[in-house]
Structure 1
Amino acid sequence: MESNKFDKLRQQFLCCYPVNKMAWSTLHLPLELDEQRALIAATCGHPLNQRFPVRRSYQEAFVKRLMHVLKDHDELHDDIYDSLCGQLAKTSLDAAPATSTYAYKHYMLQSEEHITLRESNSFVSEGTTGLCTWEAALALADYLLEHPNQLQGKNVLELGAGTGLLGILLKHKALKLPVGQVLVTDGSNACVKLMHDNISLNFDDASEEATPQCAQLRWHEIKEFPWSKYAAPDLLLAADVIYDDTQFSSLLAALDFVYELRGNRCEMLLASTVRNVDTLHTFMEQLELHEYQVTPCANVSACASHFCRDHTAAVQIVCIKR
């Protein structure tokens, strides 16, 4: 069916997958004019993108790449030109830079279900790197979807949750994951505000039990956190939180506190993009010194992945017990 013909490109476009790595080979060239129109409708014209648009520079790059792919065609559909001209016009007319600080990404799940996230267009913004979703969070999301038994009845605490992807995923009503309370936290006030916004985007008038809870938690102030307001955590999650070795001592102190609070009856899943092997190795050594047992977890293969993500980026997932 034509409606399914461009599913992969649609999925990649909506989550801003790198344009040069998109599944252009799935296009059976040449494309008739009605097929060109359908492709634009499935991407730039998709209702999600119309309501919550992905960043303009990405849409422009996508259309330019599409035009290159179709360069040998005698004729291009007007919708392709209109999409490109529209993005260029919006960029040139945008006199207020603040309006382009944030954009959206949409992660398609099963059928037409999705997660929509508002994210920063910059890797570092407002003094934090947590305002956009990183590769390790997607890898950990894949792992949890493949191993839902690890969530069975457990209350989850996420540290350094950033945009809130994992918490929103765990409580997504369409997935029906067997999880208890989900509490997403971050030390950055900007991240906490963004998580609140993203939770509101994805849950309409749901009860507190049906949505992730959100709070600010600075690791070095973990003893002052109002633990009595939340369920005792059984499973801790963290993704891309150990790239800065100056934060190791506060993170380890936070882990020690939570594990002691729970009488060591909890465990942690930690996902890390392997940028610096020495930094990663140093943290694993410090975990051993703090008497934690670290077990590697198998990554989800590219063919089984639920997300469009760059599988060439090495991500290590480990289970931490005591």
Structure 2
Amino acid sequence: MESNKFAKLRQQFLCCYPVNKMAWSTLQLPLELEEQRALIAATCGHPLNQQYPVRRSYQEAFVKRLMHVLKDHDELHDDIYNSLCGQLAKTSLDAAPAPSIYAYKHYMLQSEEHITLRESTSFVCEGTTGLCTWEAALALADYLLEHPSLLEGKNVLELGAGTGLLGILLKHKALKLPVGQVVITDGSSACIKLMQENISLNFEYDSDEATPKCAQLRWHEVKEFPWSQYAEPDLLLAADVIYDDTQFSSLLAALDFVYEMRSNRCEALLASTVRNVDTLHNFMVQLEQHGYQVTPCANVSCCKSHFCRDTTAAVQIVCIKRLN
């Protein structure tokens, strides 16, 4: 089937993988007109993109890159021109009003199963960086999918959940992961609103028990969190939460509180994009000073990844335990 022929490019397009790094080499050039039509249908014309479109500027960049790849072809299918002209026309129409600061990404899992997330089109929006999915979350998602035994019967609490990718993944019914209750939290009210929207997008007809719970948790107010409303956490998750060293003390206080509440019968998986080696090292040192045992975990290789991940920056995953 043509749709399977372009599966990799479709997967990359739907999650807005960098256009210049896409699998253009998988195209067997030259492409006949019908193949060109099928490629556009698998990407810009995909039903997910039609219902919940990815960022407009990304679609425009994708079509322009495709036209460059096909530059030596005598003829291009009208659907390619129509896709580009459609995006340019929308940009022109939106020149007066401010364009939306949100768009969608679709993470393909298996077959046609997917996770759809509404995300910010800007790295920093509404005073937070949590309104878009970061590389560390994808790396941690890969790690959990490769090690499902870590989830066996565990109640999960995520700190700094942002868009909610990990919590939605853990409860996705197609994956059938052996997880207990999943609670995804963030300190930002904007992130909470976005997570609630994303949960609704992915669990439209599911019961409350089958979906992740969503709650606001400010680390410095960890004692005021309504813990009695949720199951005691066995596994804590956090991705890309230690880039700001001014937050270290409140994050450590939150970890201390949860571990003490559980009499140290819990553990945490922390994934961090290595932007500043000194910042990351400083936090690891502080963890050890607080009595935690930090063990590095092996990353899932790109060839085994369930996602299209941009591995330009390295991601470090560690397991955090505390001895009694």
Q: Deviations over 1:70-115 (max 9, x none)?
A: 0000000000000000000001101565552100000000000000
Q: Which residue of 2 aligns with 1:228?
A: 228
Asked if 1:113 corresponds to 2:86, the answer is no
Q: Distance between the aligned counterparts of 2:57 and 2:252, measured in 1?
A: 39
Matches for 1:160-179 after TM superposition, within 5 Å: 160-179=160-179
Q: Which residue of 2 aligns with 1:262?
A: 262
Matches for 1:78-117 after TM superposition, within 5 Å: 78-95=78-95, 97-117=97-117
Q: Which residue of 2 aligns with 1:67?
A: 67
Q: Which residue of 2 aligns with 1:241?
A: 241
Q: Deviations over 1:138-165 (max 9, x none)?
A: 0000000000000000000000000000
Q: Deviations over 1:216-242 (max 9, x none)?
A: 000000000000000000000000000
Matches for 1:287-306 after TM superposition, within 5 Å: 287-306=287-306
Q: CA deviation at 1:2?
A: 1.7
CA change 1:279–1:223 in 2 (3 A) is same
Q: Distance between the aligned counterparts of 2:45 and 2:207, measured in 1?
A: 33
CA change 1:314–1:221 in 2 (3 A) is same
Q: CA deviation at 1:204?
A: 1.5
Q: Which residue of 2 aligns with 1:54?
A: 54
Q: Which residue of 2 aligns with 1:272?
A: 272
The amino acid that maps onto 2:53 is: P
Q: Which residue of 1 aligns with 2:28?
A: 28
Q: Which residue of 1 aligns with 2:138?
A: 138
Q: Which residue of 1 aligns with 2:190?
A: 190
Could you tell me which runs of 5 or more consecutive residues in structure 1 were left unpaired when the two chains were aligned: none
Q: Deviations over 1:169-203 (max 9, x none)?
A: 00000000000000000000000000000000000
Q: Distance between the aligned counterparts of 2:53 and 2:204, measured in 1?
A: 20
Q: Which residue of 2 aligns with 1:127?
A: 127
Q: Distance between the aligned counterparts of 2:181 and 2:98, measured in 1?
A: 35
Q: Distance between the aligned counterparts of 1:275 and 1:97, measured in 2?
A: 36
CA change 1:301–1:77 in 2 (3 A) is same
Q: Which residue of 2 aligns with 1:201?
A: 201
Q: Distance between the aligned counterparts of 1:153 and 1:90, measured in 2?
A: 48
The amino acid that maps onto 1:199 is: I
Q: Secondary structure at the match of 1:263?
A: coil
Q: CA deviation at 1:117?
A: 0.2
Q: Secondary structure at the match of 1:100?
A: coil
Q: Distance between the aligned counterparts of 1:174 and 1:316, measured in 2?
A: 28
Q: Distance between the aligned counterparts of 1:135 and 1:179, measured in 2?
A: 23
Q: CA RMSD in A?
A: 0.8
Count of residue pairs brought into register by the alignment? 322
Q: Distance between the aligned counterparts of 2:3 and 2:102, measured in 1?
A: 30
TM-score of the aligned structures, taking structure 2 as reference length: 0.98
The amino acid that maps onto 1:15 is: C
The amino acid that maps onto 1:278 is: D
Q: Distance between the aligned counterparts of 1:155 and 1:248, measured in 2?
A: 25
Q: Which runs of 4+ in 1 moved over 2 A?
A: 95-99
Q: Distance between the aligned counterparts of 2:251 and 2:3, measured in 1?
A: 47
Q: Deviations over 1:20-76 (max 9, x none)?
A: 000000000000000000000000000000000000000000000000000000000
CA change 1:36–1:316 in 2 (3 A) is same
Q: Secondary structure at the match of 2:181?
A: strand
* Residue identity (%): 89
CA change 1:96–1:289 in 2 (3 A) is farther
TM-score of the aligned structures, taking structure 1 as reference length: 0.99
Q: Larger deviation: 199-208 or 184-193?
A: 199-208
